[in-house]
Amino acid sequence: MKFFAFLFFLFIALSNFSQNHSLPALKYAYNAYEPWIDAQTMEIHHAKHHQAYITNLNKAIVGTKMEKLSIIDLLMYASFRSDAVRNNAGGHFNHSLFWDILAPQTSQTPISSDLAAAIDSEFKSMDTLRVKINQGATTRFGSGWVWLSVTPDKKLMVSSTANQDNPIMDVSKDRGIPILCIDVWEHAYYLKYQNKRGDYLGAIWNLIDWGIVSQKYNAALNDSLLVELEKDNWMELKDFHKVMAQTFHPAEKDNLEPLRKRSAELMAKSSLLLASKAPKSLDKPAVKVALVQLEKQCIEINKLNSKNASDLVLKKKITAAHDTFHKVQELCHD
Ligand code: MN3
């Protein structure tokens, strides 16, 4: 009996271990970031705020397929996730990167010549980059983050996002792999700097470990995620996908109501998709041919619907259009 109880607890322990996200340890003591960030802020920020994102992320995904997904997969398709997953997966990833790039001055490592050259060619100088990042941070209304990222065409980009969003998420306009970030939530600075975000921004530059940022720059340049981000950056495809999913799936179960209500919208989205500019790697004849066919099918569905075609006919047509859309998606992931 004891042996079975042991197995049972082992199973519970292992299953928790494999499914849960957990708080990464800080590389330095809470007081090592003084005087720029005080120990109390670091401790509350790490042990309370960051931990809360992780606890709530684990809660939001427990018992779902998302338990098995990497944090990157959770972020990539944020537009398809609940607000709880979007905010807490973002909160976990963003803070993990932030802690990673901060170091007390005595422990900092120098910037690589590759990153220094990329900064000079993209922003003219480190000083201009700093001004640009601080501008992004100052003008971010409310809570959010400012980022330095590597874009799919391997350039450096400064951007900012609201709340716990980040450049990996498909809800972001400017996408890339972040290599540096600054937290501009008030909880990052309020105890020491109160409402003076500018003073905090002045201080935080003393803590950035450019050697670590350089490592992240090299890793990002060779990361296959860059290719995925480029392919995924097609808003019109996502817009069409949503309407297709919300009309086709009910139709599969013989509920034609959503399609009857939204056939004009589906048609409009298919035209917008056909007219849109595809990401460079997907701009190929086979994709175009499939999109032309898809638009034709959506126009026909709308026409049949306006003539009150039977459920059976509409179901057959939306199934065929859905097959075409699947072909587009397959072509995109070749
Ligand atoms: Mn924070």
Q: Is the pLDDT of residue 18 over 50?
A: no
The model's confidence at residue 281, banded by pLDDT at 50, 70 and 90, is confident
The model's confidence at residue 276, banded by pLDDT at 50, 70 and 90, is very high
Assess whether 275 and 297 both reside in one domain. Answer: yes
**How far does residue 124's CA lie from ligand 1's centre (Å)?**
30
**How far does residue 254's CA lie from ligand 1's centre (Å)?**
47
pLDDT digit string, tens, across residues 165-224: 999 999 898 899 999 999 999 899 998 888 888 899 999 999 999 999 999 999 999 999
**How far does residue 44's CA lie from ligand 1's centre (Å)?**
10
**How far does residue 15's CA lie from ligand 1's centre (Å)?**
29
The predicted structure's pLDDT at residue 248: 97
Q: Is the pLDDT of residue 16 over 50?
A: no
**How far does residue 315's CA lie from ligand 1's centre (Å)?**
49
**Tokens representing residue 68 in the block:** 């098995």
Of 223, 246, 275, the last residue of a domain is 223
Of 196, 223, 250, the last residue of a domain is 223
Residue 250: CB partners within 8 Å, gap ≥ 6? Answer: 256, 257, 258, 259
Overall domain count for the chain: 2
- Residue 148 vs residues 97, 132, 177, 178: alpha-carbon distances, Å: 12, 10, 8, 6
**How far does residue 56's CA lie from ligand 1's centre (Å)?**
15
**How far does residue 10's CA lie from ligand 1's centre (Å)?**
34
Assess whether 247 and 160 both reside in one domain. Answer: no
pLDDT digit string, tens, across residues 211-258: 999 999 999 999 999 999 998 888 899 899 999 999 999 999 999 999
pLDDT digit string, tens, across residues 294-311: 999 999 999 999 999 999
For residues 213 and 126, the answer to whether their CB atoms sit within 8 Å is: no
**How far does residue 197's CA lie from ligand 1's centre (Å)?**
13
**For range 101-125, the mean pLDDT:** 97
**How far does residue 232's CA lie from ligand 1's centre (Å)?**
28
**How far does residue 257's CA lie from ligand 1's centre (Å)?**
44
**For range 135-148, the mean pLDDT:** 92
**How far does residue 172's CA lie from ligand 1's centre (Å)?**
19
Tokens 């042996």 sit on residue: 3
The model's confidence at residue 312, banded by pLDDT at 50, 70 and 90, is very high
Assess whether 240 and 185 both reside in one domain. Answer: no
**How far does residue 171's CA lie from ligand 1's centre (Å)?**
20
**For range 70-84, the mean pLDDT:** 93
**How far does residue 144's CA lie from ligand 1's centre (Å)?**
9
The model's confidence at residue 291, banded by pLDDT at 50, 70 and 90, is very high
Range of the domain at 260: 234-332
DSSP string, 37-57: S-HHHHHIIIIIIIHHHHHHH
- 312: domain CATH number? 1.20.120.660
| CA atoms within a 13 Å half-sphere pointing along the CA-CB vector of 92 | 23
DSSP string, 132-188: HHHHHHHH--SSEEEEEEE-TTS-EEEEEEETT--TTSTT-SS--EEEEEEE-SGGG
**How far does residue 110's CA lie from ligand 1's centre (Å)?**
26
**Tokens representing residue 280 in the block:** 């460079």
**How far does residue 267's CA lie from ligand 1's centre (Å)?**
43
Helices 210-221/113-123 angle, 10° precision:
80
Phi then psi for residue 183, to 5 deg, are -80, 120
The rounded percent of the chain whose pLDDT value lies above 70 is 94
Assess whether 208 and 80 both reside in one domain. Answer: yes
Average pLDDT, the chain: 92
**How far does residue 310's CA lie from ligand 1's centre (Å)?**
55
- 115: domain CATH number? 3.55.40.20
**How far does residue 236's CA lie from ligand 1's centre (Å)?**
32
